[in-house]
Amino acid sequence: MKKIVLMGNPNVGKSVVFSRLTGTNVIASNYPGTTVDFSKGKMCFGKEGHEIIDAPGTYSLEPSNKAEEVAVEMFGQADLIIDVADATNLERNLYLTLQLLEQKKPVILALNMWDEARHTGIIIDLKKLENELHIPVVPTVALSGEGFSDLVRRFDEARSPAEIEPMNDRERWMKIGEIIGNVQQVTHRHHTLRDWISEASIRPLTGVPIALVVIFTALWLVSFIGETLITYIFDPLFTLYAPIVMSISIWLGPGLLHELLIGQLINGEIDYIQSMGLLTTGLYVPFAMVLPYIIAFYSVLAVFEDTGYLPRLATLSDTLFHRFGMHGFGIIPVFLGLGCNVPGVLATRSLETKKQRFIAATLIAISVPCMAKNAMVFGILGSFGMVYVILVFGTLFLVFVSSGIILNRLIKGDSPEICLEIPPYRKPDPLTVLKKTWMRIRWFLKEAIPFVFLGVLLINVLYAVGFVEWLGGIFAPVIQGWFGLPQEATTALLVGFLRKDLAVGMLLPLGMSPLQLVIATTLLTIYFPCVGTFAVMFRELGIRDMIKATAFMAGTAFVVGGAMRLILLGI
């Protein structure tokens, strides 16, 4: 089986090409650095099956961050290269093309974004370009599929031209100048409304107010969509479901199985949040509490990503993020982390140095609340009043800022400057947005539900064997003495390692005051990441840095919890 690798500059449409060729959907977004790992898929043409690999984008074969390293590694394994180039930016894209051709592997060039090239008045003579490069050149529009039958049909013609010899940089750029002069004509472009909006949103004076409005609108949209879904869809569904579980409960009668499936009855009734059975809390928490917000967040995020606004936001926050030892691009992993920390930590691969990646990953794990954590905060404190919710998020924000400043001082290493291409604004395609949101929802269900079930199971087992009381006793000095919480709260913290959202049902019955609950939920979000995040941090940072990050989190939780007790409880 032949390995076919998609190579090209960042944000030229490789991932859309991949989805189209293989039928396997991968995330594509309008900013450079969307893909940070490879994806494999299969396609058939001729008699054989072929393996297609989507790689991260890179400007050259000398990688400057971890994502680009993956791209170069994939290149090494390739039997055939589909070089995807942005037709609206051919000159710059040809640098990588020439480098690929010099490596003596068969290459075929897909001139993607052909639709945009047409619109902007860029004319490329394909025959001449083929003659210059000595490989097949196929114009494509990945979004609509235009040109793909040609592309596939011409795979056989891919070749490694003997005419292209290894060059140095200067020679390469000379050659590119020559080629562009021969094949490309650019008609003069007038400034459009789109250019005007683009500049307004990236200049400091206009950009900052625009950013504030955009972010608040987005947050409002997420909570509005989430609440609407809960009120009109998910809560009614669970109301319909209630008599069914109740009859199961009666049918089962008391006993171990009842404990596991239904859990505790509260005043003779099933309480979806506190009962802690697989069929009650185990279903209610992921589906009715978290899922609606996951749907809301990811649909809003998809629109954001596809417009191309994120790199502008990165530019505006660059100065601030330098205080935290990163540069503006760091805001993109933080944004992704608001949905789930796992893709957030993964996205740190587009940062250049170890120091930047360590700080970004640690800050995300410690103080960027994912949707499950947000659901927990709202679930526990929402009924007491917004002021308590704001107290938690305000504390998290302070923790983010101060941890960032401290880590920047503490961690040795470089924090290079930003160097980021700003893509043109594009109109999000509704179908693409829906598909992308659906992909992430499916991913959430696949990853989260097993852990919710495991968590529910663990809670039941731990209570049954008396582990909870034993552990509560051990941690009592810290939990009671230092944080000012009842010792039973220990279990919630323990289970929080599996799923933070399950803790709601464990904290509510303890009869704590709202301010104590503020402390408990804040601690739950910062003391330790959930297993999923823990695993991805381990993989991305390595064991030593993982231990460092964990120690920092535990230390921060200790300090912050103590300080909150002093300030909020006054004891």
Ligand X SMILES: Nc1nc2c(ncn2[C@@H]2O[C@H](COP(=O)(O)OP(=O)(O)OP(=O)(O)O)[C@@H](O)[C@H]2O)c(=O)[nH]1
* Residue ranges binding another protein (CB under 8 A): 59-60, 62, 64, 88-89, 91-92, 95, 120, 169, 173, 189, 198-199, 202-204, 207, 311, 314-316, 318-319, 327-328, 416-422
Q: Does 235 bind ligand X (CB under 6 A)?
A: no
Q: Does 30 bind ligand X (CB under 6 A)?
A: yes
Q: For residues 72-131, which are near Mg ion according to CB under 5 A?
A: none
CB of 59 to Mg ion, least distance (A): 14
Q: Does 333 bind ligand X (CB under 6 A)?
A: no
Among 189, 194, 426, 442, binds ligand X (CB under 6 A): 426
Among 115, 227, 235, 421, binds ligand X (CB under 6 A): 115
Rank residues 18 and 321 by Cβ distance to another protein and give the closer one: 321
CB of 13 to Mg ion, least distance (A): 8
Site string for Mg ion, 35-74 (x = CB under 5 A): x---------------------------------------
Choose the binding region for ligand X from 89-97, 138-146, 272-280, 285-293 (rule: CB under 6 A). 138-146
426's contact among another protein, ligand X, Mg ion, none, with CB below 5 to 8 A by partner kind, is ligand X
Among 9, 15, 280, 516, binds Mg ion (CB under 5 A): 15
88 CB-side CA count, 13 A: 16
CB of 70 to ligand X, least distance (A): 11
H/E run at residue 270: strand 269-270
Among 4, 5, 7, 16, binds ligand X (CB under 6 A): 16
Q: Does 350 bind Mg ion (CB under 5 A)?
A: no
Q: Does 113 bind ligand X (CB under 6 A)?
A: yes
CB of 279 to ligand X, least distance (A): 40
Instruction: Catalogue the E-assigned strands of 116-242.
Output: 122-124, 137-139, 184-186
Among 25, 32, 294, 403, binds ligand X (CB under 6 A): 32
Residue of 9, 26, 88 whose CA lies nearest to 17: 26
Which residues are registered as beta bridge partners of 2? 50
Residue of 186, 13, 179 whose CA lies nearest to 91: 179
Residue that the structure tokens 């030229």 belong to: 12
- Which residues does 76 contact at the CB level (< 8 Å), separation at least 6? none
Record the tokens describing residue 200, joined without a space: 């307004």
Contact between 524 and 545 (Cβ < 8 Å): no
Choose the binding region for ligand X from 9-17, 218-226, 277-285, 405-413 (rule: CB under 6 A). 9-17
Rank residues 15 and 556 by Cβ distance to Mg ion and give the closer one: 15
H/E run at residue 324: none
Rank residues 158 and 316 by Cβ distance to another protein and give the closer one: 316
Q: Does 142 bind ligand X (CB under 6 A)?
A: yes
CA pair distance 15, 26, nearest whole angstrom: 6
Rank residues 16 and 564 by Cβ distance to ligand X and give the closer one: 16
CA pair distance 571, 562, nearest whole angstrom: 10
CA pair distance 344, 336, nearest whole angstrom: 5
DSSP codes of every residue in 26-89? ----SSTT---S-EEEEEEETTEEEEEEE----SSSS-SSHHHHHHHHHHHH-SEEEEEEEGGG
DSSP H helices in 308-382: 310-316, 318-323, 331-337, 341-347, 354-367, 371-381
